[in-house]
């Protein structure tokens, strides 16, 4: 397991959340979230629609600010602009320039990440190969389908080979064949030491994670490896474990 090897180097954890709270108006959306993601982990955040996953991911990446508590990434207190270069973030709604081509979008993000010259071109080719969009590099994004936009957003998150990838529902709207190949790539990145935090509704994706946090109504109900969660709840599947451990209905 990569966690042990990396812990030996005693690097600070990839993600440290302490008592995070967030409310919109009077409605508490996150309520006392404390958790840690170790370096090199593939970590899944699993919860029903509206449970607070996207809100938490936005706080982690510094897009939004918590009302209370602290977020530290790779040892740095967030939000911090310079962390942009060390994190790859794929939001649930695509942040793309529709009037530009995919290549121009990638070039724009490459400049934010301070990638230039031959390395920039190499990375654009490599990231677009992962999401199988090389043939569509010079197409305007306006002509992309919804699934293609998701794939381009993932390519942008991978572009600068970040230490930490934060992916909000990365495979929604992506066909099963490509989903499998994206998962192969995520597992390969994990093997290389990249830390990956993703949100998902898909139970078989949750099974592939080293650890999963179950979230319901803004609270963590359980956090452990898929095997341990099943053992703890005496269930045969993550879906059943999720329900048994207070996760409610559909994940």
Ligand X SMILES: Nc1ncnc2c1ncn2[C@@H]1O[C@H](COP(=O)(O)OP(=O)(O)OP(=O)(O)O)[C@@H](O)[C@H]1O
Q: Select 53 or 230, whichever has its Cβ closest to ligand X.
A: 53
Nearest to 58 by CA among 36, 40, 79: 79
Edge-to-edge strands, sheet with 219-224: 87-90, 164-168, 195-200, 42-46, 211-216, 219-224
Question: Minimum distance from CB of 237 to ligand X (Å)?
Answer: 20
Question: Minimum distance from CB of 56 to ligand X (Å)?
Answer: 7
Part of the chain binding ligand X (CB under 6 A), chosen from 51-59, 103-111, 158-166, 205-213:
51-59
Is 93 a residue that touches ligand X (CB under 6 A)?
no
Is 151 a residue that touches ligand X (CB under 6 A)?
no
Q: Select 28 or 140, whichever has its Cβ closest to ligand X.
A: 28
How far apart are alpha carbons 65 and 40 in whole angstroms? Answer: 25
Q: Select 60 or 130, whichever has its Cβ closest to ligand X.
A: 60
Is 171 a residue that touches ligand X (CB under 6 A)?
no
Among positions 2, 13, 44, 52, the unique one binding ligand X when judged by CB under 6 A: 52
Is 159 a residue that touches ligand X (CB under 6 A)?
no
Is 61 a residue that touches ligand X (CB under 6 A)?
no
Among positions 55, 61, 105, 194, the unique one binding ligand X when judged by CB under 6 A: 55
Among positions 14, 17, 29, 66, the unique one binding ligand X when judged by CB under 6 A: 29
Ramachandran category for residue 113: left, alpha or beta (phi over 0 → left; psi -120 to 50 → alpha): alpha
**Long-range contacts, stretch 143-152, CB < 8 angstroms, 24+ apart:** 144/102, 146/173, 147/173, 147/174, 147/175, 149/94, 149/96, 150/94, 150/174, 151/178, 152/94, 152/96, 152/102, 152/105, 152/106
Question: Minimum distance from CB of 129 to ligand X (Å)?
Answer: 29
Question: Minimum distance from CB of 58 to ligand X (Å)?
Answer: 8
Among positions 38, 41, 44, 53, the unique one binding ligand X when judged by CB under 6 A: 53
Residues at the site binding ligand X, with contacts judged by CB under 6 A? 24, 29, 47, 49-55, 92
């Amino acid at each position: 397991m990569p966690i042990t090897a990396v812990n030996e180097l005693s690097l600070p954890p990839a993600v440290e959340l302490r008592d995070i709270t967030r409310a919109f108006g009077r409605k508490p959306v996150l309520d006392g979230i404390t958790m840690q993601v170790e370096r090199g982990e593939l970590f899944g955040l699993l919860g029903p629609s509206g449970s607070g996953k996207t809100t938490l991911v936005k706080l982690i990446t510094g897009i939004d600010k918590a009302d209370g508590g602290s977020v530290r990434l790779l040892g740095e207190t967030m939000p911090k602009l310079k962390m942009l270069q060390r994190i790859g973030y794929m939001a649930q709604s695509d942040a793309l320039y529709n009037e530009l081509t995919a290549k121009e979008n990638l070039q724009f993000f490459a400049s934010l990440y301070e990638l230039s010259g031959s390395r920039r071109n190499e990375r654009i080719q490599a990231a677009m190969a992962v999401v199988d969009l090389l043939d569509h590099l010079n197409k305007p994004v306006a002509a992309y389908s919804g699934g293609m936009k998701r794939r381009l957003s993932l390519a942008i998150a991978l572009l600068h080979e970040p230490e930490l990838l934060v992916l909000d529902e990365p495979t929604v709207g992506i066909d099963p064949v490509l989903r499998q190949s994206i998962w192969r790539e995520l597992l390969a990145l994990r093997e290389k030491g990249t830390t990956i935090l993703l949100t998902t509704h898909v139970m078989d994706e949750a099974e592939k994670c080293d650890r999963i946090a179950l979230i319901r109504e803004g609270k963590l109900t359980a956090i452990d490896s898929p095997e341990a969660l099943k053992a703890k709840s005496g269930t045969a599947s993550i879906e059943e474990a999720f329900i048994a451990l207070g996760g409610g209905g559909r994940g």
